[in-house]
Amino acid sequence: MDDAVWTAAKTGEPLGRVAYVNARLLDPASGLDAKGAVLTEGESIADFGADLFKGGVPSGIETIDCQGLCLAPGLVDIRVQIREPGEEHKGTIESAGMSATAGGITTMICLPNTKPIIADMSVVEFVARRARLSGLAKIYPYAAATKNLEGKELAEMGILAEAGAVAFTDGERAIADAQVMRRALIYAKNFGLTIVQHPEEPSLSRGGGMNAGEVATRLGLSGIPAAAEVIMIERDIRLVEMTGGRLHFAHVSTAAAIEAIAKAKARGLAITCDTAPPYFALNENSIGEYRTFAKLSPPLRSEKDRVAVVQGLKDGTIDAVASDHAPHDEDSKRLPFMQAAAGGVGLETLLPIALELFHNGHLSLLQTLAKITDVPARLMGLRAGRLEKGAPADFMLFDPDYAWQVIADDLISKAKNSPFDGRLVQGIARQTVIDGRTVFRRKG
């Protein structure tokens, strides 16, 4: 990307006061939507608001004219596969940080399915240390819920929580054994933390490549029934009732699952969920003639399911949107459809695809931003995703109307497997600030 510049944040360097003026301030947490300014001092937000600097900026303060751009909290992405350590040919902490900051993301939570698995203190600390050294987006780790992600024996949750794990999950694998899930919910509850589930009954999804139905039949591909998702979700809802634990369902994609979650929430259970942009912006027809970039996990669903996901976002059943960033190298995707790896990159497209909810009239701009800032941060107990005095100065400047086309080969991501390749979108990050330092700026 020739018009982009990254500057790694160097810890320990003194920072003065910087005034960001002539901005449209957007803060979903407080409902703020007004022309105003932000003052940073060091690594924190010192002040912000519509009346700030109405009489001009005092001398001695560096001033940045935002030229009417939107200034909002940095995006918080709660489902990212980093690939480092172990599969650096697919992605690294640095490449993910560059891709994230180019998309306005300042905070990410990474899945534990690295090599080695994030299942002991040393790997948790490695990820945190490498993220700090890269000086780009902040990265927090999920830790494995079970040893070796095998779903048989619980990992050392207490030690991992002390080391900095924000929640527990087996990543791309469902915790399929009901007794293991029951124990995991109880154990995590003792530390006030959440279990994150990939809701897919494995015996029903095994051997499938796309959503079961008419399209799969026409293409001659083995299908994964939508029921595989809701069966796992309904089982886990019962386990939450038994244990009083906290459970978060990742990337929900079907109407039946959303209905089940809505009923569970109505009963007051500690259940939350997110979805990913492909499940409200695409459907199974995007596979076309065996397009492997559109092979995802869970698979792209029917149009009826896609509409249900949009409705779930509108009525609040679906709490948040996460990128579900899953980079794969070319050798993993340039294969016959059934042999190709499932997953797509999504850090740079999280903002523009989420903004389709706004541009299409489904959500207001603040409601859309809430799904990718304040809400996911609160779900995982992070101090992020909001404009707040004294909080870390993590925010982005973006143009919600800028039109561009997603070209997979032009993405910053080390891997290029975007399901949105060729899509026309609106909305782009212009500048990303982390701890008071500009780490990304798009020129022109």
pLDDT digits (tens, 9 = 90+) for 394-430: 999 999 999 999 999 999 999 999 999 999 999 999 9
Q: Is residue 374 part of a domain?
A: yes
Note the pTM of the prediction, 2 decimals: 0.96
Q: Per the domain annotation, does 50 fall within a domain?
A: yes
Residue 64 lies in a domain: yes
The answer as to whether 326 is a domain residue is yes
Q: How many domains does the chain have?
A: 2
Task: Calculate mean pLDDT across residues 211-231.
Answer: 97
- Per-residue pLDDT at 134: 87
- 204 and 270 in a single domain? The answer is yes
Helix or strand or coil: residue 29?
Answer: coil
Q: Which of 354, 199, 179 is nearest to 271 (CA)?
A: 199
Residues 201 and 241 in one domain: yes
Residue 386, in any domain of the structure: no
CATH number of the domain that 315 lies in? 3.20.20.140
Mean pLDDT across the chain, nearest whole number? Answer: 95
Active-site choice (324, 394, 421, 435): 324
- 324 included as an active-site residue: yes
Give the domain extent around 230.
Answer: 74-379
Same structural domain, 114 and 193: yes
Question: Could you tell me if 344 and 404 lie in one domain?
Answer: no
**134/222 same-domain check:** yes
CA–CA separation, 345 and 352 (whole Å): 14
Judged against a pLDDT cut of 60, whether residue 1 lies above it is answered with no
Report the alpha-carbon distance of residue 24 to residue 223 in Å, rounded. 46
* Whether 127 and 17 share a structural domain: no
- Do 264 and 207 share a structural domain? yes
- Whether 387 is in a domain gets the answer no
Q: Is the pLDDT of residue 184 over 90?
A: yes
Let me know whether 39 and 137 are in one domain.
no
Question: Within this chain, do residues 163 and 269 fall inside the same structural domain, yes or no?
Answer: yes
Question: Residue 2 above 70 pLDDT?
Answer: no
**Strand 32-41 with 44-49, pairing:** antiparallel
388 domain residue, yes or no = no
Higher-confidence residue of 439 and 444: namely 439
- Which of 333, 350, 379 is a domain's end point? 379
In a domain, 434, yes or no: yes
Q: Are 257 and 364 within one domain?
A: yes
Q: What is the pLDDT of residue 210?
A: 98
Closest CA to 75 of 373, 323, 356: 373
pLDDT per residue over 274-302, tens digit each? 999 999 999 999 999 999 999 999 999 99
